[in-house]
């Protein structure tokens, strides 16, 4: 009687361990497949929240146009994408270059604070 109880307890414990390491991954994969099949991939891709790309820059005038073009080339709906450049303490022509792009929001601080401050 005691041996049967220990054997049942062993198999239950083994099942819990196997589910933890293997079973959960299989269940998650099957669920993802089922969700994609029932809701349709188009509906899953329909969720596109507004996104803001924040670029801190310090004396980056030499590469600023290239970076702006790179941001505009992102594969994301233009009406859901906001691009913001933050220049702090820049002494080059960064502000003039950013003024050429009215769709880019530009914030400037005359005091150098670094990326974390931006």
What are the pLDDT digits (tens) for 94-112? 888 888 989 999 988 777 7
pLDDT category of residue 113 using cuts at 50, 70 and 90? low
Distance between CA atoms of residues 76 and 73, nearest Å: 9
Sheet containing 104-109: which strands, arranged edge to edge?
Answer: 51-57, 81-88, 104-109
DSSP 15-74: HHHHIIIIIHHHHHHHHHHHHHHHH-HHHHHT----EEEEEEESS-HHHHHHHHHHHHTS
Question: For the chain, what percent of residues have pLDDT higher than 70?
Answer: 86
Name the pTM for this structure. 0.58
């Amino acid at each position: 009687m005691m041996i049967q109880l220990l054997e049942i307890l062993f198999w239950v414990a083994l099942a819990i361990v196997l589910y933890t390491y293997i079973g959960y991954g299989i269940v998650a994969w099957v669920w993802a497949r089922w969700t994609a099949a029932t809701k349709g991939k188009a509906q899953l891709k329909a969720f596109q929240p507004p996104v803001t790309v924040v670029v801190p820059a310090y004396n980056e005038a030499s590469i600023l146009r290239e970076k702006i073009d790179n941001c505009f080339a992102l594969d994301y709906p233009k009406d859901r994408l906001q691009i913001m450049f933050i220049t702090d303490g820049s002494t080059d022509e960064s502000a003039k270059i950013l003024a050429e792009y009215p769709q880019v929001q530009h914030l400037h601080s005359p005091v150098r604070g670094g990326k974390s401050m931006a």
